[in-house]
Amino acid sequence: MMDWTDRHCRYFLRQFSPRVLLYTEMIVANAVLRGDRERLLACDPAEHPVALQLGGSDPEQLARAAAIGVSFGYDEINLNVGCPSDRVQSATFGACLMAQPRLVGDCVRSMRDAVRVPVTVKCRIGIDEHDDYGFLHAFVSEVAAAGCATVIVHARKAVLKGLSPKENRDVPPLIYERAWWVKRDFPSLTVIVNGGLRTVPQVAEQLGYVDGVMLGREAYHNPYLLPALHRAVHADDFQTPDPASITQSMRIYAEREMKAGTPLRAITRHMMGLFAGRAGARAWRRALSEGASRPGAGPALMDAALSAAIRFP
């Protein structure tokens, strides 16, 4: 979800459920140490609960980056050992790290020593020819021994040679049972499954075997899936917000952000899915995408887009 789940996206998605745990895009530990921390790590109080996802393979760097993340208020630090991109592999982190479970364990220990919030790991079920359950079991055993209490398992293996990151989200088959077996064999771990889940019934099936589900692009493109899942999982009085109330909330947010120098398009680009599956979706997207690039565009564009969606389905 790199370049997707930035702080503006997370603020938008928070409107759809007060309980869902939101994650940042993966941020390289070295960038946290050397880059613009405010730009990389700033988050709004409304985003909580929110986890910082880090990429890296140096235990000391990751520990320092984790501590900085906690100083910005993040509720969890997640180490991404599942990203298959060439750029990540060339820096020796992401999914290729699954081949070095001891190093991942050292990274987890170092981060746990540096922070008091949970340190979690996101991985694949395997990489390249290392795609049997024994490989995954050994990896989970190592990170669990290092003190990781939550493992997020993307139920596809990563093909590091020959497939693009996009193909790695579609081509390798989903084998949810591998995540189920992790929960069976490590009952004290919190096990979260990820990959290819798009509906409430699909999520409900997984919750019969594991502790939770992580959603990515489906939640981004169809954010109303989040309140549907909230109602299915939580017995509380949360009422699903309608598009008008979410638009009003985002307009207030945009007014504040634009005063601080944020371009309107940095916010509206994450809102295209507000009418996904509803009448007016195309008019909404067109009004936002065309209007946000015009000189002088301001938060009132959201009201105009809402009117377009309602009047011209």
Q: For residues 295 and 290, give the distance between their C-alpha atoms in angstroms, rounded to a whole number.
A: 11
Residue 234 is given by DSSP the state -
Q: Count Cβ atoms below 10 Å from residue 231 Cβ, excluding itself.
A: 15
- DSSP bridge partners of 120: 78
Burial (CB < 10 A; 0-12, 13-18, 19+), residue 55, is buried
Distance CA 157, CA 155 (A): 7
Handedness of CA 23, 25, 26, 27 (dihedral sign): negative
Which one from 83, 107, 123, 148 is the annotated catalytic residue? 83
Q: What are phi and psi of 20, to 5 degrees?
A: -60, 135
Task: Output the 3-class SS for 183-203.
Answer: HHHCCCCEEEEECCCCCHHHH
**83 catalytic residue (yes or no):** yes
> Which residues have a catalytic role annotated?
83
